[in-house]
Amino acid sequence: MKILLWFVAIGVVLFATFFFLTRRLTGYKIVDGKVVYQKIRNTTWKKVQHEVEGADPETLKVFGFSGVYAKDKNRVFLEGNPIPEADPSSFKILEDLHKYAKDNTSLFCSTRKIGEISDGFEYLGGGFAKNDSHVFNLGAIIPRAHAKTFELMDEKGFFAKDHQSVFCSGKKLIGVHAATFKKVKYCYYVDQHFVYYLSNKLEHANSADFEYYGDRYSKSGDHVYYREKVIQGADAKTFKVLSSRKGKYFAEDKNYKYWGGKKVDQFPKLN
């Protein structure tokens, strides 16, 4: 437990250091009377910068939590690039992380105009948004998604659905019954007939008799699964997850022992 806490503490310190350095070294600066945008390349940690062409240093104002937006008397900029058609006097950030914004007439994602403000707009979370006509994933229209009934099934938007379709990471899943599609436990989902591990349909599984054991193990009929794969030779009637070893993926039936879905002669010794 102490080792885990040390790893967590180190991770927090490293993240805070990275965040502090990138915020200090990223942003807009005035150099020799010109506006430049500077950032750090994640792969090399080298500083790179370019001139923000046409930016007025006298009226430039940086805004937003991340410091990547700026505007002057004439234009709005994102990471040093102009946002075409954006009105600086009415421009507002709607969601900083995924770069949704608006002005008095238009909606934007990153530097792209994606719609008119009169169409209505709702940010859903996880990079997803919609207006009266379309659903967007990071500003790109999701084909055939029905805006009025589209909703996220989790806060990050990994799964979403409308009145007739289910989507995984913004992509429509074929053959899934949207009206009955729901999460069971962990990463398992069901509809009126079938069982899914994330977006993968479980072979031979039926939602009517599906049972989740725990530790990523499940069963349906005579089949036992680890994640989405059938465990060949496993006996569904006697299969059980060892509750005393929860989180270590140990299981057994009358014939075999299993670790992480694979047959083993003996369970490995884990701390």
The residue extents of the domains of the chain are 27-82
Q: How confident is the model at residue 24 (pLDDT cuts 50, 70, 90)?
A: low
Q: Is 149 helix (H, G, I), strand (E, B) or coil?
A: coil
> Is 93:101 a contact under the CB 8 Å cutoff?
yes
DSSP 202-239: PTT--GGG-EEEETTEEEETTEEEETTEE-TT--TTT-
Q: Residue 13 is inside which H or E element, if any? A: helix 2-25
The backbone torsions φ and ψ at residue 154, rounded to the nearest 5 degrees and listed phi first, read: -150, 160
| Measured distance CA(103)–CA(215) in Å, rounded | 48
Q: What are phi and psi of 204, to 5 degrees?
A: 70, 0
Q: Does the pLDDT of residue 212 top 60, yes or no?
A: yes
**Low-confidence winner among 120-124, 138-142, 245-249 (lowest mean pLDDT):** 245-249
pLDDT over 50 (residue 247)? yes
Confidence of residue 14 (pLDDT cuts 50, 70, 90): low
Contact 239, 253 (CB under 8 A): yes
- Dihedral of CA 53/54/55/58: which sign? positive
> Is 15 a residue whose pLDDT tops 50?
no
CB atoms within 10 A of CB 129: 24
d(CA 112, CA 137): 13
Gap between the Cα atoms of 27 and 23, Å rounded: 7
**pLDDT for the residue 65:** 87
Query: Most confidently modeled of 107-121, 227-241, 242-256?
Result: 227-241
pLDDT band, very low/low/confident/very high, at 8 (cuts 50, 70, 90): low
Is residue 251 a contact partner of residue 236, using CB atoms and an 8 Å limit?
Answer: no
Provide the pLDDT confidence category of residue 248 given band limits of 50, 70 and 90.
confident
Lowest mean pLDDT among 19-28, 58-67, 78-87, 96-105: 19-28
Q: Which amino acid is at 162?
A: D
Question: Considering only 106-110, 121-125, 186-190, 232-236, which range has the smallest mean pLDDT?
Answer: 121-125
